[in-house]
Amino acid sequence: MTENTTTARQPAQPIQLFGSAISGHVHRVRFFLSVLGLPFEIVELNLRQREHRTPEFLARNPFGQVPVIEDGEVTLADSNAILVYLNERYAPDPTRWMPRDPVGAARVQRWFSVAAGPLAYGPAAARIMVLFGVDADRTETVKRSHALLSVMETCLSEQPFLAGPSATLADIANYAYVAHAPEGSVSLDAYPQLRAWLARVEALPGFVPMVRSPVGLAVAS
Which pLDDT does position 217 carry in this prediction?
74
pTM of the model: 0.91
139 contacts: CB under 8 Å, gap ≥ 6: none
Average pLDDT over residues 106-117: 98
Local confidence band at 3 (pLDDT 50, 70, 90 cut-offs): very low
Domains in the chain with CATH codes = 15-94 (3.40.30.10), 99-218 (1.20.1050.10)
pLDDT above 90 for 153: yes
Identify which has the larger pLDDT, 155 or 46. 155
pLDDT at 5 over 80: no
Cα–Cα distance between 123 and 184 in angstroms, integer?
7
The larger pLDDT score, comparing residue 214 to residue 221, is at 214
CB 126 within 8 A of CB 138: yes
The pLDDT score that the predictor gives to residue 1 is 29
50-63 pLDDT tens trace: 878 888 888 888 88
Q: What is the pLDDT of residues 172-198, one digit of tens each?
A: 999 999 999 999 999 999 999 999 999
